[in-house]
Amino acid sequence: MRVAGVVRVPGDKSISHRALMLGALGDGRTRVRGGLRARDVQSTAGVLRALGVAMPPLDDDMVIDGVGLRGLQPPGANLDCGNSGTTARLLAGIVAASPLSARFVGDESLSARPMGRVARPLTEMGARFEFERPGEGLPMTVHGARLRGLTWRANTASAQVKSAILLAGLVADVPVEVHEPVATRDHTERMLVARGVDVRTEDGAVTLVPRARLYAADQAVPGDPSSAAFFAALAALSDAGDLALDDVCINPSRAGAFRVLRRMGARLSYEGTHTDGGEEVARVVVAPGSLRGTEIGGAEVPSLIDELPILACVAACAEGESRVTGANELRVKESDRIRAIVENLRAVGAEAEELADGFVVRGTGRRPFSGRVTTHGDHRIAMAFGVLGAIPGSAIVIDDRSCAAVSFPTFWEELTRVAV
């Protein structure tokens, strides 16, 4: 397989969600350029509309007229978060600090994901949560209140929980401090600082000092490194050529997959590195190399948690064993990704073993794979095995290709275009 061309991946999903939320809460007008228009971000836009924000249709260049920190309105219907955990958890923090109540719902997959982890710190701040089923999943009703400040020591590294607490403190105008066991993606902190909020990170703690308003600020959204990782992996698995991935976010808290691919032997470099919208951005150029197994664990995991499915597929084509530990969070993503990765690798003929907090893949070099992949409706499982199936001679059947639209609506077209 030879790869060639330039890929411009969709706008970063995490930044797109936050750009809409902060635009809605800002004083004044916010322009968002390059935002993702996939299903998950559509869910955030829909929830903000239900809360009284005049959110325009999502576009590559859009303007949001903010309602201010205390301008949200009680919704007249459920807040439908679709498949988006970011929508549910971050907006739970915002609603918890607002004088209103709202019932959050989602699809079957999202409804099975744990919301207690965000409810507990927000309850300690003074909000009230009602869950309708065991397991603390959706539906949940959040009753906003006048919140008090909080110092929260998280047991699990979660950028979504951290962000929910920071946003609750912002709207409530109270100080909050979050201690993380390991550092997670820091888009919320960067974007708040760009809007005049005093946010400090020191010795594993993120602190927000209250202020009465949030200034509006334009936001450029770079390419999503999680989406770019699929094509970086495709280039690493190819026999010849290279791929250029334009304007990709290389924020160190998100670029772990690129570092791992380089460590495994792929030839990967950054060109034209610059800062845009408060984020480091570059063209990522990737060419094949001799791939070898690696170990992933500890503080490295949060920087590549969403990329572990595609890294597992690369590991199947490397020489030797790859081991991932400390990735318990994969159990509560859109699917149980540890189980889905291992079962699907075995289904297509690779050797893999499930661990409580990760997995082991015993690679045998580049070769064709064949079998049927069960995605469980998980976009990252579908795309990861789509890349593996692009190896010449492979015959991988994916049960639900459409779920890729959650984060990368044009994935299959791009895959066909650059794998020649």
Active-site residue numbers? 306
In order, the DSSP letters of 21-62 are HHHHHSBSEEEEES---SHHHHHHHHHHHHTT--PPPP-SEE
How many Å apart are CA 384 and CA 312, to the nearest integer? 8
- What is the distance in angstroms between the CA of the first residue and the CA of the last residue of the chain? 6
| Contact status, residue 206 vs residue 177, Cβ threshold 8 Å | yes
Q: Which residues, including other chains, have CB under 8 Å from residue 199's CB and lie 6 or more apart?
A: 166, 189, 192, 193, 206, 207, 208, 209
Helix (H) or strand (E) holding 372: strand 370-373
| Contact status, residue 1 vs residue 237, Cβ threshold 8 Å | yes
How many Å apart are CA 103 and CA 140, to the nearest integer? 6
Q: Which residues lie across from 41 on neighbouring strands?
A: none
In sign, the C-alpha dihedral spanning 397, 407, 411, 389 is negative
What tokens were used for 234? 């495709």
Q: How many CA atoms lie within 13 A of 76 on its CB side?
A: 3
DSSP state of 117: H
Residue of 210, 56, 67, 218 whose CA lies nearest to 147: 210
| Contact status, residue 323 vs residue 260, Cβ threshold 8 Å | no
